[in-house]
């Protein structure tokens, strides 16, 4: 879900995420950025089962947050690479993005933390993404959550989270 071009002021994130929380909708992925016109854009992923309720909830606060547009891109998934020592290993993000690009996978959104790189991609490309990332990070096919070099691959069907 994209809540696009809202005023960049205190309380906007609280209003959006607070309303979703009050509606018991878990947000698995959040990215916020500010454009050159000082407007904020929020990209959120919610479970498929919560998609319609999330859209209704956001519409319910439209007059409070004033988005120029609320968009939804269904059929997406989140693929994450986890490693406890990312800060000590420069280049992990570049390797992750190169692996996905080499298979023609377009990254729709990126979120990172000190130990995780998460990418939202087309849900039909998850298996290809996981294979590419396993190759780059030398993860055996039998390992989904444990991998060599301290890395783990996780793919979550945030399908129809947009």
Superfamily classification of domain 76-156: VC0802-like (3.30.2130.10)
pLDDT tens-digit readout, 69-92: 999 998 898 998 887 777 787 888
2-71: CATH topology: VC0802-like (3.30.2130)
- The Cα–Cα gap between 67 and 104 comes to 32
Residue 137, CB half-sphere, CA atoms under 13 Å: how many? 36
pLDDT tens-digit readout, 100-135: 999 999 999 999 988 889 999 999 999 999 999 988
**DSSP secondary structure code for residue 131 in this structure:** H
**Tokens found for residue 99:** 């692996």
């Amino acid at each position: 879900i994209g809540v696009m071009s809202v005023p960049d002021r205190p309380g906007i994130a609280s209003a959006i995420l607070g309303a979703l929380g009050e509606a018991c909708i878990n947000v698995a992925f959040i990215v916020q950025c500010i454009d050159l016109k000082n407007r904020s854009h929020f990209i959120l992923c919610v479970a498929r089962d919560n998609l319609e309720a999330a859209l209704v909830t956001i519409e319910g606060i439209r007059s409070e947050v004033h988005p120029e547009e609320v968009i939804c891109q269904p059929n997406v998934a989140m693929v994450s690479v986890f490693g406890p020592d990312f800060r000590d290993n420069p280049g992990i993000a570049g390797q992750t993005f190169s692996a996905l690009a080499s298979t023609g996978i377009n990254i729709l959104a990126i979120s990172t933390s000190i130990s995780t790189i998460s990418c939202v991609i087309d849900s039909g490309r998850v298996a290809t993404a996981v294979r590419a990332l396993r190759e780059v990070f030398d993860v055996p096919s039998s390992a989904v959550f444990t991998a060599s070099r301290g890395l783990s691959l996780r793919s979550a069907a945030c399908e129809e989270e947009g």
